[in-house]
Amino acid sequence: MKFEDCRPYIRFVRELTIGRDSTYSPWVPYDARFFYTKEGAGEIVCGDKSYRMTPGDVLCIPAGTLYHLVSPRTSVVYYAVNFDYTRSARRFSAPVSPVSAELYRPEERLSPVTFSDVASLNRPLYLTGMRFLEASLESLLREYLKKLVYYESRMSAVFFKILTDCLRRERMTAASEGRAEGYQILDYIQTRYAEPLTNETVGEVFGFHKNYASDLIKSLTGKPLHQYLLYVRLTHAWELLEGGGMSIGEISRACGFPDICYFSRYFKKVYGFSPSECRAGGREKKIPVRLASSIKE
């Protein structure tokens, strides 16, 4: 499953306070768990690894992962969410209790998924400094408690944004060493896309090896440099085709494609129809067979 196909189903949301005298045993959940520290300091153990939870820290735990809420020295307040990544098990609308490791049955896990493009969600995901999520989590809790019309859809949308923010922060943190340079390359591509850019020429401008420059762009956008450049060029080409006033050949050159055949081939690969069909309105009769994210070098 790809993350873009994720449609979270929120089963339970609460503000969970754990005092120094609270006692929690290790449990295995049948659905996924999300913890955000609102106040205080605590600790959560997943398997054999311990995570210190201070205000703004996040821990997302996959279904079937043994975890343990450790009693704090004073108290800790979490936003806690029980959820699935899909809606296939929404018939289980009430909270599903976790069980001990001895009683856990893997085949009974709800809505089991394995992500092919974000491996970090297939294991516990721990992030610090996520205080900006608090407003979204407060909104999620209000939706759950009030249960107004369309609240399930609203919760799904809010939580998908939360997950997206978490994955974006994880990617940015991993790329923090070259993040500034990466943004400079993005700006360079956005303003110079009409020029004959390649991985090599962009790398030379910034004094990087071509592979390093490409990896920086991939860490920020999910696409290697060449694929991102094609995406930018095709986006501008679409705008020019809809605007009129330029021939297809002129648009091809204005967007940095070496020739009209090369331009037409990639345009059709992404959108499912040729530039001439787009201009003639033929796109209304067709369904694009690919998305821009599927561009291959």
pLDDT value at residue 258: 86
| Per-residue model confidence (pLDDT) at position 288 | 46
**Alpha helices by DSSP H, the chain:** 134-146, 151-174, 179-192, 199-206, 210-221, 225-243, 248-254, 260-271, 275-280
What is the reported pLDDT for 286?
47
* Phi, psi dihedral angles at 188 (to 5 degrees): -60, -45
Residues of the chain short of pLDDT 70, as ranges, are: 173-179, 280-297
C-alpha span between 113 and 125 (Å, rounded) = 15
Q: What are phi and psi of 43, to 5 degrees?
A: -150, 135
Quick count: other Cβ atoms within 10 Å of Cβ 126?
Answer: 20
pLDDT of residue 267: 92
DSSP 173-208: HHTGGGHHHHHHHHHHHHHHTTS---HHHHHHHHT-
pTM for this entry:
0.68
Q: What pLDDT, on the 0 to 100 scale, is given for residue 137? A: 98
